[in-house]
């Protein structure tokens, strides 16, 4: 599924899972809200989170030329994930300001001691309606990426493993 597949399409209250590409919602008729879920792995023991009324956001992770991991998302001062790695500046949304663009990319980790690798969120970027942005991770190492533009984020959710990285992300939004 790509942007061209949805140009002039009408979507009503749908959930899209694991889609990739750039989706410009100025070209897509959206009725109500849409949820895009980026479920990168089926690990057990994940802790879910879901936040509405977003007023502050910052990100934390590590990125190099070899690896990229999103360890945490802070929303409204609450930590979802692990306190490890570099922390972005916090964006406090001003009156009338909202998140208008989101990019998410996944990364396949190195094998753990059991010989298993996992898909995790490896790049995350938020841009606001006042042209402010934060990002963490190395998008050049991601294997799949989705960008949502011309949207108004109403909810951010996902799942993380306690004392580990963010594995799933869920963005709910309306068209602007």
Tens digit of each residue's pLDDT (9 = 90 or more) over 40-65: 555 677 888 999 999 999 999 988 88
Element (H, E) at 10: strand 10-12
The percentage of the chain sitting over the pLDDT mark of 70, rounded to a whole number, equals 84
Spell out a b/e string for 21-58, using b for 16 or more CB atoms within 10 Å of the CB, else e.
eebebeebebeebbbbbbbbbeeeebeebebeebeebb
Task: Return the pLDDT at 115.
Answer: 65
Contact 72, 60 (CB under 8 A): yes
Task: Return the pLDDT at 93.
Answer: 97
Task: Give CA–CA dist 48/157, Å, rounded.
Answer: 7
Tens digit of each residue's pLDDT (9 = 90 or more) over 122-171: 899 999 999 999 999 998 888 888 889 999 999 999 888 877 888 888 89
């Amino acid at each position: 599924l790509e942007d061209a597949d949805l140009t002039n399409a009408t979507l009503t209250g749908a959930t899209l899972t694991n889609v990739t590409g750039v989706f410009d919602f100025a070209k897509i008729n959206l009725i109500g809200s849409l949820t895009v879920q980026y479920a990168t792995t089926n690990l057990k023991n994940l802790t879910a989170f879901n936040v509405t009324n977003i007023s502050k956001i910052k990100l934390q992770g590590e990125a190099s030329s070899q690896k990229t991991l999103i360890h945490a998302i802070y929303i409204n001062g609450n930590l979802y994930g692990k306190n490890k790695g570099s922390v972005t500046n916090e964006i406090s949304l001003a009156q009338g300001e909202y998140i208008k663009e989101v990019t998410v990319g996944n990364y396949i980790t190195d094998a753990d001691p059991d010989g298993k690798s996992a898909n995790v969120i490896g790049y995350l970027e938020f841009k606001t309606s006042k042209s402010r942005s934060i990002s963490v991770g190395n998008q050049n190492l991601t294997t799949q990426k989705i960008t949502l533009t011309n949207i108004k984020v109403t909810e951010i959710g996902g799942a993380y493993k306690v004392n580990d990285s963010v594995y799933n992300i869920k963005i709910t939004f309306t068209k602007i």
